Amino acid sequence: MKKTLLAAALIVGFAGVAQAETSVTMYGILDTGYGYSQVKYDKNDVRITGTSSGLTSGVVSGNRWGVRGSEDLGDGLRAVFNLEAGFDLGTGQTSNTGRLFHRQAWVGLSSDNWGAFTMGRQYNLAYNGFTHDVNEGVSMGDMDRSFGGQGSSNRIDNSFKYVTPSFSGFKAGVAYGNPSTSIERIETAGVTTSIGERSNWLSTGLMYENGPLFVAASYDRASSALDKATTNWAIAGAYDFEVVKLSLAYGQDRHGKLGWQNAASDLYTSTSRPLIGAYALGNDFKSSNYYVGLSAPVGTGTLAATWNRSSSNLDDADKWGDAAKAQNIYHLNYQYPLSKRTKVYAYGSYGTGIAYVDGVKAKEAGVGLNHRF
């Protein structure tokens, strides 16, 4: 009997050690509500209007579920991983039918002393550095509706990523990936023909955080064998005055906009993500992007107001000329916490020059519920 009790005690003790050394957590976000949106083109006696209303999905945060974990390897070193999938809460369908974990899928090593090195499908440094500390907008008011590199869709396949630990508030990172490396060479009668595409993506970022102050800078370069490399750089800062938080950002895109490459040519199908099509992504495309955000506590919730602007060279005489216009989006949202994990929200946006087209205007409004587990 004593041996049995001793064995049981040893098993419980070892189990406690295993739990202390290894941690696996399942998590997720559920975000849905009611929304109304309208996109309208009115110029030169041509009027096109598209409206939609009903259940919305993923307004404040994209719906997702995931698993993250770490294992203590000793001396402050940990093995870490994250697998994350997105889905439409209204239909239950995955956000990307071709991928099981399309939001994130990576594994690596992390240390408090030398930083983290991870491999897989990961966010670029611009998104990591800007979204959580600068961006106050949601839906059409989000930064990535004007900025190319800071969008949540900017995930790098087949990438290696390193982020330093914090040095007196400073942190830097670099990521490199080869999203497409399939090249087939055929040699016939001394002539070599290459079939396929080779591309790469370099992403760098620098951040500084000290109390109420946050400053970040980023540079991204995504190249392929077919076009000039698409580049984006941006600088941003935020300062929390307690009564109000001010956020500012400026950046430029060259030879396209990151995250917009696969946009459809139809200008009138989406207010949440302006669709400009391949004709705006030529090798000589340029844009300058601006962002201003203000947020303040109102009651027990937070009220935020943002302005996004993006001007391009599409108004040059050899491009669209008078048919082009700078894009401006004005946005308000209010988020009210019901608990630490649940909040309700309301939002509204109005935009002109959507997708850089003169005569295109958009507006939206909605309410919803966001729950984290």
Q: What domains can be seen in the chain, in order of their start residue?
A: 31-63+106-372 (2.40.160.10)
Q: What is the C-alpha radius of gyration for the chain, rounded to an integer number of angstroms?
A: 23
What confidence score (pLDDT) does residue 260 get?
Answer: 66
Give the model confidence (pLDDT) of 139-197 as tens digits.
Answer: 999 988 889 888 777 899 999 999 999 999 999 999 999 866 555 555 666 555 545 55
| Pick from 74, 67, 158: nearest CA to 121 | 158
Average pLDDT, integer, range 90-96: 86
Give the pairing of strands 77-86 and 245-254. Answer: unpaired
Q: What are phi and psi of 17, to 5 degrees?
A: -65, -45
What confidence score (pLDDT) does residue 184 get?
Answer: 54
Which one is predicted more confidently, 82 or 279?
A: 82
Give the model confidence (pLDDT) of 335-357 as tens digits.
Answer: 999 999 999 999 999 999 998 99
* Two tokens, residue 89: 């809460």
* pLDDT beyond 50 at 39: yes
Query: Among positive and negative, which fits the CA dihedral 233, 239, 240, 245?
Result: negative
What confidence score (pLDDT) does residue 186 get?
Answer: 57
| Pick from 271, 284, 291: nearest CA to 314 | 284
| Pick from 216, 100, 103: nearest CA to 153 | 103
Amino acid occupying residue 270: S
Give the model confidence (pLDDT) of 131-140 as tens digits.
Answer: 768 999 999 9
What confidence score (pLDDT) does residue 279 get?
Answer: 42
What confidence score (pLDDT) does residue 14 get?
Answer: 40
Give the model confidence (pLDDT) of 287-317 as tens digits.
Answer: 999 999 999 999 999 999 999 999 999 899 8
Give the model confidence (pLDDT) of 59-78 as tens digits.
Answer: 999 999 999 999 999 999 99
Q: Please answer whether residues 289 and 251 qualify as being in contact, where contact means their C-beta atoms are separated by less than 8 angstroms.
A: yes
* Two tokens, residue 129: 């550095």
Residue matched to tokens 């500012």: 248
Give the model confidence (pLDDT) of 259-268 as tens digits.
Answer: 764 443 333 3
**Rounded Cα gap, residues 216 and 110, in angstroms:** 22
Give the chain as a 3 state SS string.
Answer: CHHHHHHHHHHHHHHHHHHHHEEEEEEEEEEEEEEEEEEEEEECCEEEEEEEEEEEECCCCCCEEEEEEEEEEECCEEEEEEEEEEECCCCCCECCCCCCCCCEEEEEEEECCCEEEEEEEEECHHHHHHCCCCCCCCHHHCHHHCCCCCCCCCEEEEEEEEECCCECCEEEEEEEECCCEEEEEEEECCEEEEEEEECEEEEEEEEEEECCEEEEEEEEEEECCCCCCEEEEEEEEEEECCCCEEEEEEEEEECCCCCCCCCCCCCCCCCCCCCCCHHHCCCCCEEEEEEEEEEEEECCEEEEEEEEEEEEHHHCCCCCHHHECCEEEEEEEEEEECCCCEEEEEEEEEEECHHHECCEEEEEEEEEEEEEC
Q: What is the pTM of this model?
A: 0.83
**Rounded Cα gap, residues 356 and 280, in angstroms:** 9
Percent of the chain past pLDDT 90, that is, above it, reads 66
Q: Which residues contact 63 (CB under 8 A, 6 or more apart)?
A: 28, 29, 30, 31, 32, 57, 86, 87, 88, 89, 95
**Rounded Cα gap, residues 295 and 331, in angstroms:** 12
Residue 185 burial by Cβ neighbours in a 10 Å radius (0-12, 13-18, 19+): exposed
Residues in a beta bridge with 46: 43
Q: Please answer whether residues 337 and 301 qualify as being in contact, where contact means their C-beta atoms are separated by less than 8 angstroms.
A: yes
| Pick from 368, 320, 327: nearest CA to 344 | 368
Q: Which residues contact 240 (CB under 8 A, 6 or more apart)?
A: 212
Q: Within 13 Å, how many C-alpha atoms sit on residue 313's CB side? A: 13
